[in-house]
Structure 1
Amino acid sequence: MVTKDSNILEAARKYPVIGMIFRKYGLGCIGCMVASGETLGEGLAAHGLNADAIIAEINMLIEEQEKAAK
């Protein structure tokens, strides 16, 4: 699971679904150089998005993928 304090690149490497969610919202953060030093909360807020809602969506998909893998 991820939080607002999770580093964007580290989280995306661990949970590739994050890239899909970012693309859904038109974010290119995964390929951005700033992403290596920015948290999910900072990146989403910088784009004027509701970080709590998007992180909840990400965690829901991560949970679904983990259940499917069992």
Structure 2
Amino acid sequence: MTKITKEMTIMDVLKMDQGLAEIFMKHGLHCLGCPGATMESIEDAGKVHGIDSDKLVAELNEYMESK
């Protein structure tokens, strides 16, 4: 299993499993289809939106490990 990191783009992570979208939205990242999602890393998006990217990445990885 590929571990999700802060350096990955949101779109790359969503391609791994569409169920991850719910976690992004729970953390306030609602524009999953916008151009920024294809270019912005999770860390960059966290900075722009005031989100703790470490917490988000941990939750994304927990989801993937539970599958």
State the secondary structure of the residue aligned to 2:8: coil
* Structure 2: 5+ residue stretches without partners: none
| Structure 2 contact 24–56 (Cα < 8 Å) conserved | no
Superposed structure 1 runs of 4+ greater than 2 Å apart? none
Asked if 2 retains the 8 angstrom alpha-carbon contact of 1:8 and 1:30, the reply is yes
1:49 aligns to 2:51 (yes or no):
yes
The one-letter amino acid paired with 2:7 is D
TM-score (norm 2): 0.84
Which residue does 2:22 correspond to in 1?
20
| Alignment partner, residue 35 of structure 2 | 33
**Which is greater in Rg?**
1
Aligned pair 1:58/2:52, yes or no?
no
TM-score w.r.t. the length of structure 1 is 0.81
Question: How many percent identity over aligned positions?
Answer: 31
| CA positional deviation for 1:42 | 0.9
Q: Which runs of 5+ in 1 are unaligned?
A: 66-70
Q: For 1:53 and 1:25, how far apart are their aligned partners in 2?
A: 9
Q: How many residues align?
A: 65
